[in-house]
Amino acid sequence: MIYYLWFSLFAIFAYLIATDKSIARYYVLLWKRGRLTYERIKWWVRYSPDNPIVRYQIKKNSEKLAQELINEHRNQTDSGFATNRQLDQSVEEK
Mean pLDDT of 78-83: 60
For residues 72 and 63, give the distance between their C-alpha atoms in angstroms, rounded to a whole number: 14
Q: Report which of residues 29 and 46 the model is more confident about.
A: 29
pTM (2 d.p.): 0.50
> What local confidence, expressed as pLDDT, does residue 82 receive?
55
Q: Is the pLDDT of residue 8 over 90?
A: yes
pLDDT tier at 5 (50, 70, 90 boundaries)? very high
pLDDT tier at 1 (50, 70, 90 boundaries)? confident
> What local confidence, expressed as pLDDT, does residue 66 receive?
92
* Domain boundary assignment for the chain: 48-94
CA angle 37/38/44 to nearest 5° reads 90
Query: Is 72 in contact with 81 (CB distance < 8 Å)?
Result: no
Overall size of the chain counted in residues? 94
Q: Is the pLDDT of residue 81 over 70?
A: no
